[in-house]
């Protein structure tokens, strides 16, 4: 009996190792990333227990289930193996086997909790298929091994023991299938992915619980293949990350494009990419991308992904809001995958939606995505007579106006900001007609070549002026200037206007008198909140300016996108509803009559909501109303 159990455990271990080898061999077909995997491997336990847990624990029941099932399975199996090792003295062997039972029983409980999640029906965000029988296999393995552990003796075979062994074996085989092709793959792939995670800066470090690593990395434009066309073009860790997806559907719940009925479901996207690596992918039993045409799927490492596993619209629906990334317990980088695929489509094939093509052409030829004259950018603030900084001149604050400056509605917000800066006695200037577009839209649409050309221009212009810091009211420009230009050789102190105003209020250079008025809710711009963690400054300002502030259910780091990011309005893919309508409904639910915004994109999208709705006002406008003259 002892030998049989030993053989069972050894076979299971060997099979898992073999499966891992097969998976590793597939991931290694991707592009190398030139980072030490050994150094990464050392970090894996910490990344699992701190960073992954941080996300999983937002849903305590899932964390509990995970701890019980995974802990029980691994601990029990290991203890049982130890307990039956030849040469193990009887008494410690017995104790260790009892320990194994102590592990297996909670493991079985975890399996039951997992089963209960899909009772009576599988919720729409969760997957069915293999996930439905996985808990049964887990239960069989745990219960079978408990029987085995109880009935192991040095001699002879018991009928009960054999039955337990058979049960455990059946469960074990099923689990192995799940490891190779099913849900359990996330365990092995997760280790590989956390070892080589493409954004090491995301992980908690000493003294920094939530570091931000959200900048897209520059593409070397002389590379033979730009962006991703086939699975082979992804990096090795990225390939592992697709296999690490556990299909929990949290991304799907958070995705604004999915909610609006556009052809994107981040979970189906990642599963599609995982399937793309294989000639015959495992069937997917979760929600598909809404209204997406049926795709053949699979194809293997050298087949084109778009057209084979993804509908083109799926790529262009993404607003790059990172809500999915924020929710992903496996820390998968969905947005990076989307951008990599868009880069392939844009740079190698020129296959972009008509609206996006127009925007990219204008960015390329006019240095302005809307095709407007650069010298018209300051028209909205012309009456305020803001000085223009000429080459060689110096000022304290450089006001980067951004694309919103062309918009009539947003001009009001900018004028409020300029008036406040004047009141605080700041010395500031704009670049006037020398300000080109920062390249945000071009980059999100995958046109890295145009982005880099614009960035070179912008960095050149900024390099010839002297200033203390850059302030902008556009979170997209803020993110690009602050986080993405350094890689191209432009490093400055960059602040969002809410940070500046917060500082002025704190220093007493602006005095606010709280105003009575209708309830105000703050809508976090993705590129300010989730991308850069600026969520407190605008709230402090609103608290100082308005008596009643409420929170929308989704706010802060988990806020919902307005639908304006990532070039999504330009691509304009088919939808059932509009994202800003959904967001405005959430604001209405919160009971607010005013929605405070801090981004020209959000302003435009939310102002575009028709019918009766809360009023849209920039934080700067609300602060100006409350400022004591």
Main-chain dihedrals φ then ψ at residue 109, nearest 5 degrees:
-65, -45
- What is the nearest approach in angstroms of another protein to the Cβ of residue 22? 34
Query: Rounded distance, CA 440 to CA 481, Å?
Result: 9
- What is the nearest approach in angstroms of another protein to the Cβ of residue 604? 11
Q: How many residues bind another protein (CB under 8 A)?
A: 33
Q: Which of the residues 608 through 627 are near another protein (CB under 8 A)?
A: 610
Pick one of 41, 88, 301, 374: the residue that binds another protein (CB under 8 A): 374
Q: Assess contact for 203 and 51: CB atoms under 8 A.
A: yes
Pick one of 373, 383, 487, 513: the residue that binds another protein (CB under 8 A): 373
- What is the nearest approach in angstroms of another protein to the Cβ of residue 350? 3
Q: Assess contact for 525 and 557: CB atoms under 8 A.
A: no
Tell me whether residue 21 or residue 376 sits nearer to another protein (CB atom).
376
Place of tokens 């603030």: 381
Main-chain dihedrals φ then ψ at residue 460, nearest 5 degrees:
-60, -45
Tell me whether residue 551 or residue 574 sits nearer to another protein (CB atom).
574
- What is the nearest approach in angstroms of another protein to the Cβ of residue 261? 9
**Residue 64 CB contacts under 8 Å (≥ 6 apart), including other chains:** 110, 113
Tokens encoding 519? 């309830």
- What is the nearest approach in angstroms of another protein to the Cβ of residue 296? 24
Tell me whether residue 232 or residue 372 sits nearer to another protein (CB atom).
372
Of the candidate spans 27-35, 81-89, 233-241, 566-574, the one that interacts with another protein by CB under 8 A turns out to be 566-574
Tell me whether residue 87 or residue 611 sits nearer to another protein (CB atom).
611
216 near another protein, judged by CB under 8 A? no
Closest to 72 in 3D by CA, of 182, 5, 151, 149: 149
Tell me whether residue 233 or residue 495 sits nearer to another protein (CB atom).
233
Cα 229 to chain centroid, rounded: 21
Query: Rounded distance, CA 230 to CA 276, Å?
Result: 8
Pick one of 252, 327, 368, 495: the residue that binds another protein (CB under 8 A): 368
Tell me whether residue 1 or residue 604 sits nearer to another protein (CB atom).
604
357 near another protein, judged by CB under 8 A? yes
Tell me whether residue 574 or residue 615 sits nearer to another protein (CB atom).
574
557 near another protein, judged by CB under 8 A? no
- What is the nearest approach in angstroms of another protein to the Cβ of residue 367? 6
**Residue 309 CB contacts under 8 Å (≥ 6 apart), including other chains:** 272, 273, 275, 276, 295, 296, 297, 298, 299
Tokens encoding 488? 């191209």
Of the candidate spans 123-131, 221-229, 386-394, 557-565, the one that interacts with another protein by CB under 8 A turns out to be 221-229
575 near another protein, judged by CB under 8 A? yes
- What is the nearest approach in angstroms of another protein to the Cβ of residue 406? 13
Tokens encoding 607? 């102002």
Query: Rounded distance, CA 256 to CA 565, Å?
Result: 11
Neighbours of 215 (CB within 10 A): 18
Number of H helices, E strands in the chain: 26, 8
Pick one of 469, 576, 585, 589: the residue that binds another protein (CB under 8 A): 576
Tell me whether residue 350 or residue 463 sits nearer to another protein (CB atom).
350
Q: Which of the residues 377 through 406 are near another protein (CB under 8 A)?
A: none
Pick one of 32, 201, 371, 489: the residue that binds another protein (CB under 8 A): 371
Pick one of 174, 295, 352, 604: the residue that binds another protein (CB under 8 A): 352
221 near another protein, judged by CB under 8 A? yes
Tell me whether residue 580 or residue 614 sits nearer to another protein (CB atom).
580
Q: What is the 3-state secondary structure (H, E, C) of 133-186?
A: HHHHHHHHHHHHHHHHHHHCCCCCCCHHHHHHHHHHHHHHHHHHHHHHHCCCHH
444 near another protein, judged by CB under 8 A? no
- Tell me: cis bond preceding 16? Omega within 30 of 0 counts: no
Closest to 523 in 3D by CA, of 619, 609, 409, 404: 619
Site string for another protein, 182-201 (x = CB under 8 A): --------------------
574 near another protein, judged by CB under 8 A? yes
Task: Provide, for the chain, the percentages of residues in helix, strand and coil under a 3-state DSSP scheme, each rounded to the nearest 5.
Answer: 55, 5, 35
Tell me whether residue 500 or residue 604 sits nearer to another protein (CB atom).
604
Pick one of 361, 409, 456, 540: the residue that binds another protein (CB under 8 A): 361
Pick one of 213, 279, 365, 536: the residue that binds another protein (CB under 8 A): 365
Angle between helices 266-276 and 334-343 (to 10 degrees): 60
Q: Could you please report the per-residue DSSP string of 57-77?
A: TTSHHHHHHHHHHHHHHHHHH
Pairing label, strands 594-597, 520-522: parallel
285 near another protein, judged by CB under 8 A? no
Pick one of 360, 386, 541, 544: the residue that binds another protein (CB under 8 A): 360
57 near another protein, judged by CB under 8 A? no
Pick one of 56, 138, 192, 226: the residue that binds another protein (CB under 8 A): 226
Neighbours of 155 (CB within 10 A): 6
Q: Which of the residues 456 through 515 are near another protein (CB under 8 A)?
A: none
Of the candidate spans 21-29, 47-55, 331-339, 372-380, the one that interacts with another protein by CB under 8 A turns out to be 372-380
79 near another protein, judged by CB under 8 A? no
Query: Rounded distance, CA 291 to CA 551, Å?
Result: 33
- What is the nearest approach in angstroms of another protein to the Cβ of residue 168? 54
Positive or negative, the CA dihedral 41, 45, 46, 47 is: positive
- What is the nearest approach in angstroms of another protein to the Cβ of residue 226? 7
Tokens encoding 1? 């009996």
Task: Find the angle CA(388)-CA(390)-CA(391) to the nearest 5 degrees.
Answer: 150
Angle between helices 536-545 and 497-506 (to 10 degrees): 50
The total number of residues written for the chain in this structure: 629
578 near another protein, judged by CB under 8 A? yes
Q: Which of the residues 331 through 350 are near another protein (CB under 8 A)?
A: 346-350
Neighbours of 203 (CB within 10 A): 18
222 near another protein, judged by CB under 8 A? yes
Residue numbers of the site for another protein (CB under 8 A)?
Answer: 221-222, 226, 346-352, 355, 357, 360-361, 364-368, 371-374, 447, 449, 569, 572, 574-578, 610
């Amino acid at each position: 009996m002892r030998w049989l159990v030993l053989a069972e455990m050894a076979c299971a271990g060997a099979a898992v190792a073999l499966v891992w080898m097969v998976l590793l061999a597939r991931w290694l077909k991707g592009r190398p990333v030139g980072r030490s995997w050994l150094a990464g491997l050392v970090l894996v336990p910490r990344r699992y227990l701190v960073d992954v847990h941080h996300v999983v624990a937002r849903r305590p029941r899932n964390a509990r289930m995970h701890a019980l099932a995974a802990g029980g399975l691994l601990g029990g199996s290991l203890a049982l193996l130890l307990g039956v090792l030849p040469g193990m003295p009887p008494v410690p062997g017995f104790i260790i086997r009892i320990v194994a039972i102590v592990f297996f029983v909670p493991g079985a409980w975890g399996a039951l909790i997992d089963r209960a999640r899909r009772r009576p029906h599988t919720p729409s965000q969760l997957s069915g298929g293999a996930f439905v029988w996985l808990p049964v296999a887990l239960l069989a393995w745990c219960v079978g091994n408990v029987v085995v552990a109880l009935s192991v003796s040095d001699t002879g075979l018991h009928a009960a023991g054999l039955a337990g062994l058979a049960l455990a074996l059946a469960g074990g085989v099923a689990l192995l299938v799940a490891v190779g092709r099913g849900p359990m793959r996330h365990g092995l792939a997760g280790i590989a992915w956390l070892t080589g995670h493409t954004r090491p800066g995301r992980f908690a470090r000493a003294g920094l619980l939530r570091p931000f690593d959200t900048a897209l990395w520059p593409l070397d434009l002389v590379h033979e293949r730009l962006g991703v066309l086939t699975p082979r073009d992804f990096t090795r860790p990225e390939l592992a990350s697709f296999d690490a997806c556990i299909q929990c559907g949290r991304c799907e719940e958070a995705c604004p494009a999915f909610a609006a009925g556009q052809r994107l479901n981040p979970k189906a996207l990642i599963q599609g990419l995982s399937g793309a690596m294989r000639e015959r992918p495992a069937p997917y039993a979760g929600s598909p991308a809404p209204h997406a045409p049926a795709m053949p799927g699979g194809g293997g490492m050298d087949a084109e992904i778009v057209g084979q596993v993804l509908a083109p619209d799926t790529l262009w629906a993404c607003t790059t809001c990172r809500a999915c990334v924020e929710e992903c317990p496996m820390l998968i980088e969905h947005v990076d995958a989307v951008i990599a695929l868009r880069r392939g489509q844009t740079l190698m094939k020129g296959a972009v939606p008509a609206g996006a093509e127009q925007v990219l052409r204008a960015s390329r030829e006019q240095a302005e995505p809307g095709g407007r004259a650069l010298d018209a950018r300051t028209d909205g603030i012309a009456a305020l007579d803001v000085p223009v900084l000429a080459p060689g001149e110096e000022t304290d604050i450089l006001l980067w106006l951004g694309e919103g400056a062309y918009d009539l509605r947003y001009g009001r917000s900018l004028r409020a900001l300029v008036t406040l800066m004047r009141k605080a006695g700041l010395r500031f200037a704009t670049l006037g007609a020398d300000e080109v577009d920062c390249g945000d839209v071009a980059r999100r649409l995958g046109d890295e070549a145009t982005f880099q050309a614009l960035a070179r221009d912008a960095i050149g212009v900024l390099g010839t002026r002297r200033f203390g810091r850059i302030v902008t009211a556009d979170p997209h420009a803020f993110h690009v200037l602050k986080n993405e230009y350094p890689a191209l050789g432009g490093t400055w102190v960059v602040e969002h206007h809410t940070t500046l105003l917060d500082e002025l209020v704190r220093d007493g250079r602006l005095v606010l008198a709280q105003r009575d008025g209708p309830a105000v809710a703050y809508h976090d711009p993705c590129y300010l909140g989730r991308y850069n963690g600026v969520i407190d400054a605008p709230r402090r300002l609103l608290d100082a300016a308005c008596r009643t502030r409420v929170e929308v259910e989704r706010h802060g780091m988990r806020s919902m996108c307005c639908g304006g990011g990532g070039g999504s309005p330009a691509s304009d893919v088919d939808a059932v509803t509009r994202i800003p309508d959904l967001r405005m409904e959430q604001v209405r639910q919160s009971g607010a009559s005013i929605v405070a915004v801090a981004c020209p994109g959000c302003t435009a999208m939310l102002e575009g909501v028709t019918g009766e709705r809360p009023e849209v006002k920039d934080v700067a406008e609300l602060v100006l109303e409350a400022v004591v003259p």
